Amino acid sequence: MRINIYHRHFNNKLMKRIFSLLFIFAAVALQAQTFRLEFKPVAGTEYPVNMEVIQDMTIKVPAMGDMTTHTEQKIGAILTLVEEVEKGYLMETRLTRFTVNTSAQGQSQNFDSEGEDVVSQAIKTITEKPFRLVISRQGEVVEMLPLDTAFFTRADETLATQYAKRKRETTMTQLKALFSESTLKNVAQAGLTKFPDKDLKVPSVWTEDTPSDELGAIITTQYRVDNYADNKVTLMAKMVLMSNPNAKKPEGPQRMENIAGGGEATNIVDAVSGWVIETKGKQNVSGQLVIEQGGQSQSLDLTMVISTVITR
């Protein structure tokens, strides 16, 4: 039985997975005299993060050849300190821009907070809603507070002015996938680097292992302090992905297996606040996309090339 891969390639599940991967690779791109790096926000100061990610994912489909999905993402946010807490700092976050454009085989899907159509208007109502999270002193988002129960209410009401019930429900499902709690958490993490709890110097080196159930892999990133001057620290990051046989399989009919790859990034961090000033990175990944349908399974080879630029 042949799975209709063309239509499934554009369904909400795969779109959510593509979107999640953008954040994963953006996040892993981040992380002289002796000094210590910590996240140290100051009350009344805004901490902006602007992320641009370009991803090309190519799937080899039997009897059809290569199918490439091109995704461009531009997301901005501003974080402000609410109060210091036991785990670190409670931060309020507000999105300033949210644009995701995906295209494949002559078809496209566009979500843009700066557009004028009804979906853009709905997105604007979501970006106007602040959310809160806790960031540790080592620069890691350790807790995402539950979203307000009315987080998506105005978006649904906006769509209802022009969309029939079925189309409105389909669009709301897409928006909730794009603005999931995991996504919002990753937006904040993009402005951070996970620092070691120790003194550093040029050229200190440390390694972070990050398991990813989304990829079914372990991401090992080695960070090296390349320069420290004028309260700015330059970090060089090298990433290696290896398949993790113990990873929890994600829910849904699609998952990634046998993932492998690597990448590099250059990060400039404000040594006073611990906030990222600029990050530029690129990753190359290969593996299989496994699709299950009707009790049958199909495995398709895939490759991904991801370029990331993060500024404040």
pLDDT tens for each residue of 111-151: 999 999 999 999 999 999 999 999 999 999 999 999 888 89
pLDDT tens readout for residues 38-49: 999 999 999 999
**Domain locations in the chain as residue ranges:** 5-311
* Mean pLDDT computed over 77-100: 96
Report the pLDDT value the prediction gives residue 135, as an integer from 0 to 100: 97
For residue 281, pLDDT over 70 is answered with yes
* Mean pLDDT computed over 215-223: 89
Distance (Å, rounded) from C-alpha 91 to C-alpha 84? 9
The tokens 């630029």 sit on which residue?
309
For residue 23, pLDDT over 80 is answered with no
Tell me the pLDDT of the chain averaged across its residues.
88
24, exposed or middle or buried, with CB in 10 Å at 0-12, 13-18, 19+? buried
**Cβ atoms of 289 and 57 closer than 8 Å:** no
pTM equals 0.82
β-pair partners for 302: 59, 287
Q: How confident is the model at residue 9 (pLDDT cuts 50, 70, 90)?
A: very low
CA angle at 194 for the pair 182 and 278, rounded to the nearest 5°: 90
Report the pLDDT value the prediction gives residue 3, as an integer from 0 to 100: 46
Which range (17-21, 37-41, 97-101) has the least confidence?
Answer: 17-21
Q: How confident is the model at residue 297 (pLDDT cuts 50, 70, 90)?
A: confident
Residue 7, both tokens: 């239509």
For residue 15, pLDDT over 70 is answered with no
Q: Quote the radius of gyration of the chain (alpha carbons, Å).
A: 20
Q: What's the N-to-C CA distance of the chain in angstroms?
A: 50
For residue 6, pLDDT over 60 is answered with no
Report the pLDDT value the prediction gives residue 37, as an integer from 0 to 100: 93
Report the pLDDT value the prediction gives residue 5, as an integer from 0 to 100: 46
pLDDT tens readout for residues 49-58: 999 999 999 9
Which amino acid is it at 8?
Answer: R
Residue 297, both tokens: 């399974």
**Cβ atoms of 51 and 97 closer than 8 Å:** no
Report the pLDDT value the prediction gives residue 21, as an integer from 0 to 100: 63
Give me the percent of the chain exceeding a pLDDT of 70: 88
* H helix and E strand count, the chain: 6, 12
CATH number, domain 5-311, options 2.30.230, 1.25.40, 1.10.3470, 3.40.50: 2.30.230
Contacts 24+ apart (CB under 8 A), 128-131: 128/94, 129/94, 130/92, 130/93, 130/94, 131/92, 131/93, 131/94, 131/184
